[in-house]
């Protein structure tokens, strides 16, 4: 039932090159509250897509009450000269959508060619806790809300860009108290984007002193390659001075994304610079989107830093796949 064991020997650790897979942009942070055209507390955790040959970020913006909404920012080069909407692009509407009572958070965007629409999965902060909601758009001006697609508590969700074996596939992160307690990454399927079932655990959070021990969740939406789906995820380690959010990688089978082929045993990106280590929530790097530059081949990862600003780092799918194929392979039983 989605359980995996990973072959890792202590002697293997000295084989790791510790190559930096992600290169931070020297202009980081590229966006913060001071750039916003109206008063806000913080700007972070953006979804990111290529839209009309420009980079579009749908940023999570927290107001001075502590509630979040989404605002669109567009740039020709994805680094500077951002054109930011003068007012919120998508706001909570608690009258029509009571699940949004305390705001909407952490969007992720997937282009669905079958529908010729962008699918935005996001966390709606309901009275009963956070849950996964879905909206569709063609222009990032008009939005069709489909409402909640998962009950509380659930978040960190994104769709695969196409049906697999006739079904839509969603990655998400419920919190379960009774069945397999903990914060693990799950996968579910649907025929209509509304009713979801066939839920199973895709990846467990590890236990003990691992960097991703206790809680994991999806970061940016999965990327399709000939070798499989690249999965970027965050792991949380609790320390005596608080939590540390870092990033890891996994590779899923192309035709059966329930199957994990490889998973990194070490984190590949973590908070190190001052804007990542100090903010509203210290020691956090939290990507919600990445954009592939088809001309230059760079993969631009956009992330929230310390819940206070937006930063960007670059890599390539070639480097990610090369690294992943050297990571431990998944077997049949869980080692957790």
- Torsion (CA) 308, 309, 314, 315 in degrees, nearest 10: 20
Confidence of residue 231 (pLDDT cuts 50, 70, 90): very high
pLDDT top residue among 104 and 334: 104
Structure tokens at 144: 């069709």
The per-residue pLDDT for range 170-224, each reduced to its tens digit, is: 999 998 766 566 799 999 999 999 999 999 999 999 988 899 998 999 999 999 9
pLDDT in the model for residue 207: 86
What residue segments make up the domains of the chain, in order of their start? 10-324
Q: What is the pTM of this model?
A: 0.93
pLDDT in the model for residue 18: 58
Residue 315 pLDDT > 60: yes
104 vs 101: CA distance, rounded Å: 8
Alpha helices, DSSP H only, in the chain? 274-277, 317-324
61 vs 8: CA distance, rounded Å: 40
The per-residue pLDDT for range 250-291, each reduced to its tens digit, is: 999 999 999 999 999 999 999 999 999 999 999 999 999 999
Residue 136 pLDDT > 50: yes
Contact indicator for 68, 105 with CB cutoff of 8 Å: yes
Residue 331 pLDDT > 70: no
**SS3 (DSSP) at 298:** coil
pLDDT in the model for residue 179: 59
Contact indicator for 187, 165 with CB cutoff of 8 Å: no
Name 139's Cβ contacts closer than 8 Å, sequence gap at least 6: none
Name 274's Cβ contacts closer than 8 Å, sequence gap at least 6: none
- Average pLDDT on 157-165 reads 98
pLDDT in the model for residue 294: 74
**SS3 (DSSP) at 276:** helix
- Average pLDDT on 301-330 reads 96
Q: Tell me which residue of 91, 47, 96, 48 sits closest to 69, measured CA to CA.
A: 91
CATH class of 10-324: mainly beta
186 vs 216: CA distance, rounded Å: 10
The per-residue pLDDT for range 56-87, each reduced to its tens digit, is: 999 999 999 999 999 999 999 999 999 999 99
Please provide the average confidence, as pLDDT, over all residues in the chain: 92
Q: Tell me which residue of 251, 261, 209 sits closest to 6, measured CA to CA.
A: 261
3-state secondary structure 199-243: EEEEECCECCCCCCECEEEECCCCEEECCEEEEEEEEEEEECCEE
Residue 139, burial from CB neighbour count under 10 angstroms (0-12, 13-18, 19+):
exposed
Structure tokens at 128: 């009963």
């Amino acid at each position: 039932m989605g359980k995996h064991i990973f072959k890792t020997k202590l002697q293997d650790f000295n084989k790791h090159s510790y190559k930096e897979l992600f290169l931070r942009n020297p202009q980081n942070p590229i966006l913060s509250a001071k750039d916003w055209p109206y008063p806000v507390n913080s700007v972070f955790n953006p979804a990111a897509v290529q839209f009309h040959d420009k980079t579009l970020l749908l940023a999570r913006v927290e107001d001075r009450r502590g509630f979040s909404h989404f605002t669109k920012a567009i740039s020709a080069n994805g680094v500077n000269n951002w054109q930011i909407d003068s007012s919120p692009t998508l706001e909570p509407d608690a009258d029509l959508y009571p699940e949004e009572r305390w705001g909407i958070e952490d969007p992720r965007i997937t282009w669905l060619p079958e529908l010729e629409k962008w699918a935005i999965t996001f966390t709606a902060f309901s009275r009963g806790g956070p849950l996964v909601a879905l909206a569709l758009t063609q222009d990032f001006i008009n939005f069709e809300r489909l409402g909640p697609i998962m009950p509380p508590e659930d978040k960190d969700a994104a769709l695969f860009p196409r049906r697999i074996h006739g079904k839509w596939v969603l990655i998400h992160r419920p919190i379960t108290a009774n069945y397999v307690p903990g914060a693990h990454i799950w996968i579910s399927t649907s025929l209509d984007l509304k009713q979801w079932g066939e839920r199973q655990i895709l990846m467990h959070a590890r236990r003990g002193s691992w960097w991703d021990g206790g809680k994991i969740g999806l970061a940016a939406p999965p990327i399709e390659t000939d070798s499989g789906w690249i999965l970027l995820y965050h792991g949380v380690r609790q320390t005596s001075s608080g939590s540390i959010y870092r990033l890891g990688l996994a590779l899923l089978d192309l035709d059966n994304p329930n199957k994990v082929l490889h998973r990194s045993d070490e984190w590949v990106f973590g908070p190190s610079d001052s804007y990542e280590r100090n903010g509203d929530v210290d020691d956090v790097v939290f990507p919600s989107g990445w954009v592939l530059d088809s001309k230059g081949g760079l993969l631009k990862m956009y992330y929230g830093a310390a819940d206070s600003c937006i930063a960007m780092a670059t890599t390539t799918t070639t480097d990610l796949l090369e690294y992943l194929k050297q990571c431990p392979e998944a077997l049949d039983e869980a080692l957790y």
